[in-house]
Amino acid sequence: MLLFVICGLLLAACGEEEVTEPTGPHPGLLDPSQAVETAPAVFKAQFECSNGTFVIECHREWAPRGADRFYNLVKCGFYDECRFFRVMKNFVVQWGVNGDPLVSKNWRTARIPDDPRGPETPSNTTGYVTFATSGADSRTTQLFINYKDQNRSLDRSGFIVFGKVVQGMDVVNGIEGKYQQQPQQPSIQTQGNTYLKSTFPDLDYIKKARLLD
């Protein structure tokens, strides 16, 4: 559900035709085993949302496994059309359950091991991005952005930062928050965006997410 853009390759040789790769879904969207590339040391991802655009810059040294997973999720289009289903203005904004229940089901058990907290890893403070967890080695697809500096206590609970918002924090701050924690994750998992659109129609969402050169 994340946004994946495939560009045509224009061959330099005289007389050769432009070659365009298939524009269908990335195979990793339905099969997590095909979304396992190693991310660059530093990279950026742009999120075009219903209320504006923001950019996340990721540093692999902060959390290598987390950065790799995020890189692949963006690349395969997982986050496209994802709703910001948990918005606590005094705490975090969370997203990452795919709007297609089949995609969501296939990724739900694709857990990655925890990253140790390194000396260069920042704390959970305003604008920093972290995977949500439900215990040890449980990270899959859900993310949150911290809304306040007082979230440093999350460091001790194993929430390891892998990126930060470098553009558009005003957009992040403006994400619709009137529903707070009302959307129920089990219903999102089984019914996807059908449930969210009908029950919480004003949720902001990601139109497209893509890796930046």
Distances (CA, A) of 55 to 2, 115, 173, 188, 200: 14, 23, 13, 25, 25
Averaged pLDDT of the chain:
91
Region 155-169: mean pLDDT is 97
Does the predicted model carry a pTM greater than 0.75?
yes
- CA-closest candidate to residue 145, choices 131, 166, 156: 131
Rounded CA gap, 164 and 152, in Å? 14
Distances (CA, A) of 25 to 28, 50, 80, 103, 182: 8, 22, 11, 11, 31
Which residue intervals of the chain are DSSP H helices? 64-75, 101-108, 169-173, 185-191, 193-199
Whether the per-residue pLDDT at 8 is higher than 80: the answer is: no
The proportion of the chain whose per-residue pLDDT surpasses 90, expressed as a percent, equals: 88
Whether the per-residue pLDDT at 151 is higher than 90: the answer is: yes
Whether the per-residue pLDDT at 47 is higher than 60: the answer is: yes
Region 180-200: mean pLDDT is 98
The proportion of the chain whose per-residue pLDDT surpasses 70, expressed as a percent, equals: 89
> Looking at residue 25, what is its pLDDT?
86
Q: Are 35 and 72 in contact (CB under 8 A)?
A: yes
Whether the per-residue pLDDT at 20 is higher than 60: the answer is: no
- Residue holding tokens 């902001």? 204
pLDDT band at 19 (very low <50, low <70, confident <90, very high): very low
> Looking at residue 130, what is its pLDDT?
99
CATH number of 42-212: 2.40.100.10
CB neighbours of 122 closer than 8 A, spacing ≥ 6?
Answer: 62, 128, 161, 164
